[in-house]
Structure 1
Amino acid sequence: MSRPELRLSSSAFRANIDAVRARVAPSTLMLVLKDDAYGHGLSWAVDAAVHAGIEWFGSYDIRTGLSVRRIAGGDARIFAWVTSTDEEIDHALMQRIDLGVGTLDYLRRIIARAEALGRSARVHLKIDTGLHRNGILPEDWAVAVAEAREAEHAGLLEFAGVWSHIAEASDADDDIAHEAFLDAVRVVRESGANPTALHLTASAASWWRPELRGTISRIGAFCYGIRSAEGPELDGIRPAASLVATVVDLDGDRVSIGIGSFDGLPSTLSGSRVGTPGGARTLVSVGHTASVVEGWPGARVGDEIVVFGAGERGDTSATTLAERIDTVGEEILTRLTPRVRRVVAD
């Protein structure tokens, strides 16, 4: 193996999905796929999720949503929530992608494109519950709801959902956000038919705060086996990917492995523990294309080192590494460059 590999376990991924679904039921799991499925590879993740019975996908942007549509087929529900161009809106309408709408301007542009194309847009309005991340302000909410209902009556829009993000900074702050969300939902219900998709929570809040869940829970990291930084281990969840590199050189009581910062491995991870045939050893330093690891008796060129992941020698997770440098496990995975081959292990 001349290049490092991110080895993907479809069985672990599907087992994680099953564990998350059981945890959040009766809320429906929306599998989030942003950042190329958290660095795992979009095609692999969507295909495995379809086989696991996932019906809702969170694509973040329309471009990713279009790729999901090609892989998952026409029956999947795909939710894209980043504000997009008119051309992207046109593609979304043609491919029946649900659109998350966080501003009045975006809502009006979607309605205008729906009218121009003679198509109906499926829309989820986002209320700002205090995080201030692209949401309609409470003082503008009634206007947005009224315009959405008017477009719905004209056949230009399906008012499919209400959603928001929460900070997950404290239970008290999230309770306040939940109350604001419920108040926004009440305004929508008073205006007409009840939208079926209500979603407020992502991974951590969906897992730990069942009272905050709506009819849908948007979950990405936990499905891939990425726990929250400083958070506890999760029952039934294990990493769906392992980062593996081989020994390329021996130098006394140290070995060189074929992975470095050019592969996306942060140089600040020196001092971390990695899995070797001789047990856990220290990652001494990270170079551009190779790194140095503390040796073990009988080390040989070609031996495999598990930098993180599941398995007999993969007791270090991406989040464990991330905590050393004050970040999150998602960053460790999404930093990996195309030099790291994605390989389906099972």
Structure 2
Amino acid sequence: MPARLEISSATFRGNVRAVAERIAPSELMLVMKDDAYGHGLNWAAAQGLAVGVRWFGAYEVPAALRIRAAAPEARIFAWATSSREEVAAAIRADVDLGIGAHDYLRRVVAEARSACRPARIHLKIDTGLHRNGIRPEDWDDVVAEARRAEDAGLVRIAGVWSHLGEASDADDDDARSVFTAAGDALRAAGGTPEHRHLTASAASWARPELRGSLGRIGAFCYGIRSADGPDLDGVAPAAALRADVIDSGADGVRIDIGALDGLPSTLAGAAIGDRSARIVRVDRTWTEVSSSEELRPGDSVTLFGPGGVSATDLAEHIDTVGEEILTRISPLVPRIYT
């Protein structure tokens, strides 16, 4: 069998339930960026629906449209600034749009007018991360224009949102103050947003006072812990990357997955599996492994997954995050769902 990513549906559903219970009474928005963190968007949507997920988050509109096809009744939020054609498609598909710039608001309003159908929008205040977002000094002007469009029936201001920097508790507290002030200003201008959402995985888990009505959570639902973060109660990795030994020698073995499959070549020295093996070298189509166990051609080697090292363990070896390890795995590596 070739290299494969084995994914447990039961583990994923258990993770989603655990996260939803942790953040209640806030509602979970299951984030699906990067093809559901490399797990497969259609599969993740079906599993989420099976355990009661009603909100899905997509970075870009094309992914949101794929979710819409898989989840016709769900609420879907797409937050990347998008082209006119994508905005028009999102409005037709009843996708909520994140608005982080004044000119993007105008583009969305124009497309809503052309479609003769209101766009549902969430205004983003920049709380200090500077990952787009409307600057506080521009907020009142943008709110005023959005409210005029709402009164004209062109948009529905459904939410206020932002990203946290998560650099420190003090920084996040400052961000919360900016976020709260922005929501107050919108309501003072006559807006009636249904939702407030500020936190993603780590802050949603650890700081309940920062949660709003929605929690945008991706990584934790897939069992990917934060870099340098603690293990998560009730959450486990849903995926295991396994590959077969293709050759053996005096100094180690080669397994049938390499840099072309998405493994970073910088992983040399990283422990894998149950920590009895280490990566020696990542070449284009194979990886050389040293092991204290005797391995022969045809044997299966686990690079990461339940019971051994995690994707985040590998990521910490090269100073990155667990999401990168998973999302770099090529779509040509089969996903096997159990």
Q: Secondary structure at the match of 1:161?
A: strand
From 317, 320, 325, give the equivalent of 1:324: 317
| Residues 77-112 of structure 1: per-residue CA shift (max 9 Å, x gap) | 000011111111110110000000011111111111
User: Please, which of 239, 246, 257 is the counterpart of residue 241 of structure 1?
Assistant: 239
Say which SS state the counterpart of residue 131 (structure 1) adopts: coil
Instruction: Write out per-residue CA displacement over residues 162-196 of structure 1, whole angstroms, 9 at most, x where no aligned residue.
Output: 00111000000110000000000001111224211
Task: Tell me which residue corresponds to 1:308.
Answer: 304
Partner of 2:89: 91
- AA partner of residue 128 (structure 1): D
Deviation at 1:4, TM superposition (A): 0.8
Q: In the superposition, relative to structure 1, how do residues 322 and 297 fare at CA in structure 2: closer, same or farther (>3 Å)?
A: closer
**What CA distance in whole angstroms lies between the structure 1 residues aligned with 2:160 and 2:255?**
49
Residues in 2 aligned to 1:339 and 1:103: alpha-carbon distance in whole angstroms: 37
Relative to the length of structure 1, the TM-score reads 0.95
Partner amino acid, structure 1, of 2:289: V
Match of 1:53 in 2: 52
Q: CA RMSD in A?
A: 1.3
Aligned length in residues = 338
The alpha carbon displacement at 1:296 in A equals 4.7
Q: Distance in 2 between matches of 1:24 and 1:84?
A: 30
Residue 29 of structure 1 corresponds to which residue in structure 2? 28
| Structural mapping, 1:1-346, within 5 Å | 1=1, 3-73=2-72, 75-275=73-273, 280-296=276-292, 298-310=294-306, 314-344=307-337, 346=338
Identity percentage of aligned residues: 57
Structure 2: which amino acid aligns with 1:189? R
Moved more, 12-21 or 130-139: 130-139
My pick for the range that moved more, 333-342 or 173-182, is 333-342
CA contact (8 A) 2:127 2:162 kept: yes
> What residue ranges of structure 1 are gaps of 5+ in the alignment?
none
Kindly state the Cα deviation for residue 291 of structure 1 after the two structures are TM-superposed: 1.5
Contact 2:35 2:41 survives alignment (8 Å): yes
The Cα shift of 1:253 comes to 5.0
8 A Cα contact 2:30 2:216, kept in partner: yes
Matching residue's letter, 1:254: G
CA contact (8 A) 1:269 1:325 kept: yes
In 1, the alpha carbon distance for the partners of 2:295 and 2:94 equals 55
Compute the displacement of 1:297 (Å). Answer: 5.0
Determine if contact 1:128/1:134 at 8 Å carries over to the other structure.
yes
Alpha-carbon distance, 1:275 to partner: 2.3
Residue identity matched to 2:68: R
Structure 1 residue 249: Cα displacement = 1.5
Give TM-score, length-normalised by structure 2: 0.97
Aligned counterparts of 1:85 and 1:173: Cα–Cα separation in 2: 33
The separation in 1 between residues aligned to 2:325 and 2:218, in whole angstroms, is: 15
State the SS of the aligned residue for 1:169: coil
Which consecutive unaligned segments of at least 5 residues does structure 2 have? none
Amino acid at match of 1:186: D
Which string of whole-angstrom CA distances, capped at 9 and with x for unpartnered residues, describes residues 113-162 of structure 1? Answer: 11111001000000111111111111111111111111111111111000
State the distance in 2 between where 1:306 and 1:250 align.
16
CA contact 2:272–2:304 (8 Å) conserved in 1: yes
8 Å Cα contact 1:4/1:339 also seen in 2:
no
Deviation of 1:339 (Å): 3.1
1:289 to 1:182, Cα distance in 2 relative to 1, 3 A: same
- Contact 1:275–1:281 (Cα < 8 Å) also in 2: yes
Counterpart secondary structure, 1:292: strand
Quote the Cα distance in structure 2 between the aligned partners of 1:118 and 1:338: 39
Q: How far apart in 2 are the matches of 1:264 and 1:52?
A: 31
Q: CA deviation at 1:228?
A: 0.5
Counterpart contact for 1:253–1:296, Cα < 8 Å: no
- My pick for the range that moved more, 259-268 or 86-95, is 259-268
Q: Once the two structures are superposed, what CA deviation does each residue of 1:266-294 show, in whole Å capped at 9, x if it has no partner? A: 12212222227xx7222222222112222
Matched residues in 2 for 1:4 and 1:42: separation? Answer: 20
